[in-house]
Structure 1
Amino acid sequence: MSVFTPVDRAQLETFLERFDLGRLIDHSGIAGGTENSNFFVATERGEYVLTLIERGPVAELPFCIRLLDGLQQAGLPVPYAIEDRSGTALHHLNDRPALLQPRLPGRHVDIPDASHCQAVGQMLARLHDATVTSGLLRPSDRGLEWMITETKAMLERSPAPARAVLQSILPVLERLRQQRPALPEAVLHGDLFRDNVLFDGHHLTGIIDFYNAFSGWTLYDVAICVNDWCLAEQGGLDERRTEALLAGYASQRRFTPLEAEHWPNLLRLAALRFWLSRQLAADRHAEHSGVLIKEPAHFQRLLAAHGEIRVGLPLAL
């Protein structure tokens, strides 16, 4: 279970006294997270999710709160920070910034089909449309500069197969940094994996975990999505599900010729980013038995498989 900062019942009862949510019934830690501590909380008036923020600058949390408020107002199925009686949305618990949000209905989909992927693509496009003119800006702390630095550091300590993959992507990173293409930008989710989307059957009921949201290329967000939702059993991407997700996105928000040109490299960039961050998390928490550590080599293999990209962006929709 990935709970870095535990919360006992007495602490939670004291915390909830500032809200109009009734008596605490039950709470439990949520397994699956790798960066924050999350808890399901049930009270007399409903079910909620409590998140203790473990990583990132506290000063940027108001960005996340404003982002979620804007997305909710745009009709997207997202959580939002619940205010206490004094109108405060950002709290502290056990020396950690804390947010209390409604628990959205639905379940995670472990094995998505083309219909799930199409729905995710459509919702991601709606998210980008809702944020492109929002005025919200937040640079990524894991952008190109970070990736270049961490790639060079990993090169020095990696075995030969990994070094070959890293050496192949480094010129791509340098080129994107030096000649930044004018691709469409908005606020991105940045982590729209299967464990951050909820479905009721084939109906998408929720998008959660916006703590990695940042401003950047919308195509990069699409690539992050495809790299998790559209994986083939034998490695690389499943063409049918990839086409469905891209078609879903394009039905709401058209791709540009420049995006089509950069699509292969953005897929590689997205695979590298999570290879690096998972490796750093594995190194940092190697001796912590209670922390879920996701396999870094998964994205190493995916990056290697992206040497050939067979599904391009649909430009004719």
Structure 2
Amino acid sequence: MAVFTPVTDAELGDWLQHYDLGDIVEFRGIQSGIENSNFFLTTTHGEYVLTIFEKLTATQLPFYLDLMRHLASHRVPVPDPMPRRDGALFGLIHGKPAAIVTKLEGAPEMAPTPAHCIEVGQMLARLHLAGRDFPQHQPNLRSLSWWRENLPAIIDCLSDAQRELIESELAHQGAFFGSADYASLPGGPCHCDLFRDNVLFAHGIEHARLGGFFDFYFAGVDKWLFDVAVTVNDWCIDLETGVLDAARVDALLRAYQTVRPFTPEEERHWNDMLRAGAMRFWVSRLYDFHRPREAQMLKAHDPGHFERILRERVKAASLSAHR
């Protein structure tokens, strides 16, 4: 179950008095997700999603909601936060921040083809370019400094082989992040978590159409190449082995670069960033697995998935170096 904070019909009715969204038609919990309480809300004005934020504070939330509003205004298909009558994009339910956003069309595509990857690649590039004039700045909070900070809490839980890999990769990424080439990489607001289950496709008669990107609550300002690498590490792999699928990789990268071509530095450090993307999620999954939050209600993701991906990317770098 993923509704951590229940809301009664009476409470919802009182809360909606702060909005101009019409009368309630339907309201039900969404039984997925591990961070927040989510509900589908249908009113006489349209379909929405109500989210109660279980971890993010009222101080942290404006960056994410303002970014989504900015992207939606630039015709990037993302959930658009609905303003309250006082202009605010969120309020409080049971003392927790909560927001209403537009509901996107479609469902996740968990077995993507190159055609799906083309649409994802093009829209990700559009998102990056649309964010260039977004005035707020918040770094990716799960980047190198977070890996370093949290590694001591999990290092004793690892095998010798895992410890060797994670310490070696941390050193590699530290050198990469500190390089002049890394500093020169273009960047801006990034989704930072664009997995298959955070993208919707509407399935028409002839082909699937991208419905939009959602769940921006790990977003931050980072290198655009990192965002592409995170996306490829999920959309373009064999899920059992972590091996890249060449056809899907080629489709996504070509599509992305029809909108925003890579710089020479991005081309040169593509595999380094694939490794960074794998490292980010291996560390976070290790932490969630070995140091779970109190009363966590859902099973943690398997850390071994991103260990396999990282080993594949390191192996690819080694093979390339010996050619």
1:75-154 alignment, distance < 5 Å: 75-154=75-154
Partner Cα distance (1:260, 1:57) in 2: 38
Decide which moves more: 86-95 or 176-185.
176-185
Is the 8 Å Cα contact of residues 230 and 237 (structure 1) preserved in structure 2? yes
| Structure 1 counterpart of 2:259 | 252
Decide which moves more: 268-277 or 217-226.
268-277
Partner Cα distance (2:296, 2:187) in 1: 39
Is the 8 Å Cα contact of residues 154 and 290 (structure 2) preserved in structure 1? no
1:130-209 alignment, distance < 5 Å: 130-179=130-179, 181=182, 182-201=184-203, 202-209=208-215
- The residue type equivalent to 2:119 in the other structure is A
CA deviations over 1:110-164 (Å, ceiling 9, x no partner)? 1000010111010000001111233331112212111122234432321223223
- The residue type equivalent to 1:90 in the other structure is F
1:1-317 alignment, distance < 5 Å: 1-179=1-179, 181=182, 182-201=184-203, 202-235=208-241, 236-285=243-292, 288=295, 290-309=297-316
C-alpha distance 27-161 of structure 1, shift in aligned 2 (>3 A): farther
Partner Cα distance (1:258, 1:289) in 2: 41
TM-score of the superposed pair, with normalisation by structure 2: 0.89
Partner Cα distance (1:42, 1:273) in 2: 36
Per the TM alignment, residue 195 of structure 1 is displaced from its structure 2 partner at its CA by: 1.2
Partner Cα distance (2:272, 2:189) in 1: 20
Per the TM alignment, residue 286 of structure 1 is displaced from its structure 2 partner at its CA by: 7.0
C-alpha distance 211-289 of structure 1, shift in aligned 2 (>3 A): closer
Secondary structure of 2:59 counterpart = helix
Secondary structure of 1:276 counterpart = helix
Per the TM alignment, residue 203 of structure 1 is displaced from its structure 2 partner at its CA by: 1.0
Decide which moves more: 149-158 or 262-271.
149-158
Per the TM alignment, residue 101 of structure 1 is displaced from its structure 2 partner at its CA by: 0.7
CA deviations over 1:257-307 (Å, ceiling 9, x no partner)? 111221111111111111222232334547747325322221111111112
Is the 8 Å Cα contact of residues 41 and 50 (structure 1) preserved in structure 2? yes
C-alpha distance 282-4 of structure 1, shift in aligned 2 (>3 A): farther
Is the 8 Å Cα contact of residues 153 and 287 (structure 2) preserved in structure 1? no
C-alpha distance 286-62 of structure 1, shift in aligned 2 (>3 A): closer
Number of equivalenced pairs:
310
Structure 2: stretches of 5+ with no match in the other structure: 318-323
Per the TM alignment, residue 233 of structure 1 is displaced from its structure 2 partner at its CA by: 4.8
Secondary structure of 1:59 counterpart = coil
Decide which moves more: 115-124 or 56-65.
56-65
CA deviations over 1:175-205 (Å, ceiling 9, x no partner)? 1343261111111011111111111132111
| Structure 2 counterpart of 1:314 | none
CA deviations over 1:36-84 (Å, ceiling 9, x no partner)? 2211112233221011122244323222222122211211111111112
TM-score of the superposed pair, with normalisation by structure 1: 0.91
C-alpha distance 242-27 of structure 1, shift in aligned 2 (>3 A): same
C-alpha distance 150-226 of structure 1, shift in aligned 2 (>3 A): same
- The residue type equivalent to 1:19 in the other structure is Y
